[in-house]
Amino acid sequence: MVRWYDAQGGHLGTTTVLPAPGQILGYNPGDALPTGVATSGPLSGSRVQGSATPTSDVSRCATFS
């Protein structure tokens, strides 16, 4: 689900994405970004593809004490 906001932070709408089969290639959260077809909302019927650029090192597991 993708939530749309305007520049002032007001909610504009929501788009639901039906994932394309076989598009999740790994176990990292970034690998699970939506790739498929929007089934509802402002982009209904459109093909969509997500991507991410980490802002910090995400190659290690967090440890808790």
Torsion sign across C-alpha atoms 54, 3, 48, 36: positive
Model confidence, pTM: 0.53
pLDDT 10s digits, 17-44: 887 777 666 666 655 566 888 898 878 8
Contact 22, 33 (CB under 8 A): no
Question: Across the chain, what does the average pLDDT equal?
Answer: 75
Of all helices (H) and strands (E), which one includes residue 19? strand 11-19
SS3 58: coil
Distance, CA of 60 to CA of 19 (rounded, Å): 27
- Each domain of the chain, given as residue ranges in start order, spans 2-22+29-49
